[in-house]
A and B are shown apart, each in its own frame.
Chain A
């Protein structure tokens, strides 16, 4: 039994997440896509942990989850602040920092 399908699934999910970040404009959905990418990475980590038979991969996945939690907290707070002032959750509207 090869674990390759898991890795392939991980790659597919990662790519879908990336494309989502690039195409969606709602900041919340963009964040969800980022989460999707992180989860895809976690899947790869856990898969490799099983492949190699040690727990380091799982510990790494655990760390990723914590970082993701922190990121979501701050990110959502930022989205809230922006929404409060601009009445919009679109990432394209926050485009004043430019030429």
Chain B
């Protein structure tokens, strides 16, 4: 695979001092963190007030963060392009030998966009959750966890060194675990939380090893130091760091081979799926790759691996999305696939970074929109998630239907909708870099068209297949307003690309790519993409829309469908490759410990004990026996003396 590397210009992270509104950057994190502390710890002090007002407090803190982010964003826009990197040193976190880690914040165009996404979408989802979780007795705790997540995610993106990123990384992992298992009385939810946590640990090992390797190589974990020195490190070291970072990104972003947890994570409340498992946390891997561009640009093997992983994942997720009847799992498969697109763009290097972030933003809008829409549908259908029990809902939930439709059109890449711009750019870049990868991305777009259309048709069109006693109704305003806002963003997200604005805006972080001529004119490629998507949509229409959808999933299906329903045997693969060998290894070690180590220890003790049993017979208690020994000793001593004297 030939990737352009030589012409890459890696910008050095060199933040200037923060002033004005930018010096309030810490408050962006502190607000939701304080909200989490108050909501989680304050409940014991003022349970009544907290239960009545807690959700508003949680929403207000995130909204405050959003306002600050917006102000900071405009302050950044007001600066010269040259000093759009702002640093803020809060305090020294710890100092140990040569390692000095500060609580440092970094604010540049990349995380400015992330801040807006996290706090903006976060605010909308908080508002939505007020309605969605209204009848849950533990709503206060839910908002505490959500605030904790937002704070951790902000730490992740705002930190100016890898250790800070790791802190946030673990923080979002914790929040994700708590929220997936929020309904822990369901064994499936508890198991899903555990699964997500464990698989994320595998990725975290990669990230922590990468950080350790970076410290060993560069003597620091600061972006500024590493980005300045990365070109001096050896190729092998950089590749190793890059691959380890990729492992971390795979875990957090549910990329193959650490993808198995994402579909199960849909056990959490739907706002959680929207915020954490669609819009923000799962994109942390993409952020990590883009942020570490100073590593990846110099590590071609790691970049190649990223592209391969991303391509496999985008097809894998798309296939899963086609087979799932659970509306949230279908969306989760689509999320996996879309993150695959982002990773693909990030793996393509300088040319792709900006588009990765662009797609990340638009995906954040439309996927959050669709997840919240799905939540709204579930809300109306008594928490039923099986699409085979839906049908014909467009008349009963008009707002949900319309907003969902905006998200649908965005994700399949309907012209002029946000997804159209972002996905088209990624496919274009991929085609320019490597034909095979580009074709895979194109195929993925077609499958996306198919499964999203299938989802739409099964949910909102066709005959009613409702469970008896279900009366679908539109959700309250507090839930539909965020849907409307997100739908609008899904439609209009494409404006960011006007005049290549986002590419130029991100240039101080991602660098400027030399323009590569795609194999075909851009317009032709766009047409091809739209045609492929139309094919997928048409296929869905012929296979799903025209026929009656059975209420129970047909069991006589092709092996492909069966495999897709079983998550392409991802769990079985893990089971065979990791779990069973691990169990066998543990069993073997236990046996070795019991037989070998314990045997030696116990055998030694038994041998000594046996010897003592024989030896203790010498201690017969008879004074005269002891005296005999003494006299015998005297005899020996006398003999020895004589022997010495006579010799």
Contact = CB atoms under 8 A, between A and B. Distances in A.
Interface of A: 18, 21-23, 25, 30, 91-92, 94-99
B620 A99 contact: yes
A25 B619 contact: no
A92 B619 CA distance: 13
A21 B620 contact: no
B624 A99 contact: no
11 contacts: A21-B627, A22-B628, A22-B631, A25-B624, A91-B622, A92-B624, A94-B623, A95-B620, A97-B621, A98-B620, A99-B620
B351 to A, nearest CB: 86
B627 A22 contact: yes
A96 B624 contact: no
Interface string B620-637: 111110011001000000
B621 A98 contact: yes
A99 B623 CA distance: 14
Interface of B: 616-617, 619-624, 627-628, 631
Contact of A91 (B617, B619, B624): B624
B622 A99 contact: no
A92 B631 contact: no
Contacts of B624: 21-23, 25, 30, 91-92
8 tightest A-B contacts by CB?
A98-B621, A95-B621, A99-B616, A91-B623, A99-B619, A95-B622, A98-B619, A22-B628
Given A18-B631, A91-B624, 7 more contacts: A22-B627, A23-B624, A91-B623, A95-B620, A95-B623, A98-B619, A99-B619
Contacts of B628: 22
Contacts of A96: 621
A99 B622 CA distance: 11
B631 A99 contact: no
Nearest to A99: B616
A23 B617 CA distance: 20
Contacts of A23: 624
Nearest to A92: B622
Contacts of A92: 622, 624
Contact of B617 (A25, A94, A99): A99
Contacts of B627: 21-22
A27 to B, nearest CB: 9
A96 B624 CA distance: 14
A94 B621 CA distance: 8
Contacts of B616: 99
Contacts of B621: 95-99
Contacts of A95: 620-623
Contacts of A30: 624
B258 to A, nearest CB: 63
Nearest to A21: B627
A21 B634 CA distance: 14
A95 B631 CA distance: 20
A18 B624 CA distance: 11
A88 B106 CA distance: 95
A95 B622 CA distance: 5
A25 B619 CA distance: 18
Contacts of B619: 98-99
Choose among A21, A25, A94, A99 the residue with the greatest number of B CB atoms under 10 Å from its CB: A99
Nearest to B635: A18
Contacts of A94: 623
Contacts of A22: 624, 627-628, 631
Contacts of B622: 91-92, 95
A31 to B, nearest CB: 12
B146 to A, nearest CB: 71
A28 to B, nearest CB: 14
B424 to A, nearest CB: 91
